Structure 1
């Protein structure tokens, strides 16, 4: 009888174990589905984040190009001149400069300052004193009534490289002089109004 009871109890245990296995399998499938859904969500979040960054970068590039590009009206208002010259200079005579570009006028080799203000001045050149004269000379940038800048140039160190800001007055005539005859090579002179008296 005990054996029979044991035999009768055994079939009862098998369905319980089967249900437990079925339950574990369903739980594993649920966990797998949840994991897959989490993976899909993570992937969608990643794609969304990348798309947002790309869009933000495109907006920043557009704004940067838009604001860094000077508008036509701004460039038309700016006062500047750019001069290039290669040739001779004569002692006691201003170098005969002519404008290559820019709205500031050049008259008789002189830059005419259009208004009071701060000007960015850039001057670069190779200067070669005549051999029969001294092996050095003075290069002078002069306004109507005052010397703005002066440099001694030696034949063995003939490059001039000046970048400075000067306050210039309306109706000043800016000229370039050498203290002796010389050859000027690839001279480049630029004046740009940085701030006028009204700003």
Structure 2
């Protein structure tokens, strides 16, 4: 039995240094496992944030249209020099009063305007989209139209609550198939 004990003791003696050598390996494995758990937790948190942010997009589009201010206008008629074009809403919850579109809240708006202009008296006219803020009025966009031509505008404008938007010409003209759309794309929802 003596030689067996010495072999067992020898095995234990060899096992102890081997165990001490594996402690750094076990520490590295624990750190790897901790990094893996942390990465999985971060991905789950990221996914939860994306789901939370995407909740509005998952709702039916009918309720989205009620939340986002927008209007779509179609117009065919005459413009009178120095008088705002009498716009009326075809679709959308934004109000129009006396031909002016009332801006319900601050934000960045997408503006799209397309039309064909027939000049009646002059060789050219200036088509102006004006913004009125409190008592002051300024041109937001202008285009000079020579002879009979098509007008195309697609732009983004930052507008303020209680502003109003009007369309003006500096000459008499016939406006055909005017399509005007204004949609809040970023800002405070009202």
Q: Tell me the secondary structure at the aligned position of residue 83 of structure 2.
A: coil
Please tell me the root mean square deviation across aligned C-alpha atoms, in Å.
Answer: 1.8
- In the other structure, the counterpart of 1:150 is 142
- Residues of 1 paired with 2:143 and 2:185: CA distance? 24
Residue 164 (structure 1) shift: 0.5
* Structure 1 Cα separation of the partners of residues 125 and 60 of structure 2: 41
Q: Which residue matches 1:100?
A: 90
Q: Within 5 Å, which residues of 2 pair with 1:1-199?
A: 70-130=60-120, 133-144=121-132, 145-156=137-148, 158-197=149-188
Deviation at residue 70 of structure 1 after TM alignment: 4.3
- Which residue number in structure 2 is paired with residue 15 of structure 1? none
3-state SS of paired residue (2:171): coil
SS, match of residue 162 in structure 2: coil
User: Alignment length, in residue pairs?
Assistant: 130
Based on CA coordinates, which of the two structures has the bigger radius of gyration? 1
TM-score, reference length from structure 1: 0.62
1:149-192 Cα shifts (integer Å, max 9, x gaps): 00000114x10011000001111110000010000000000000
CA deviation after TM superposition for structure 1 residue 117, in Å: 0.5
Q: Distance in 1 between matches of 2:90 and 2:63?
A: 21
Please state how far the C-alpha of 1:68 moved relative to its aligned partner: 7.6
Where is the strand percentage greater, Structure 1 or Structure 2?
A: 2
Q: Structure 2: give runs of 5+ residues left out of the alignment.
A: 1-56
- CA deviation vs aligned residue, 1:67-112 (integer Å, no higher than 9, x gap): 6884332222111000000000000100000000100000000000
Q: 1: distance between equivalents of 2:58 and 2:113? A: 26
Aligned to 2:41: none
The ranges of structure 1 where at least 4 consecutive aligned residues each deviate by more than 6 angstroms after the TM superposition are: none
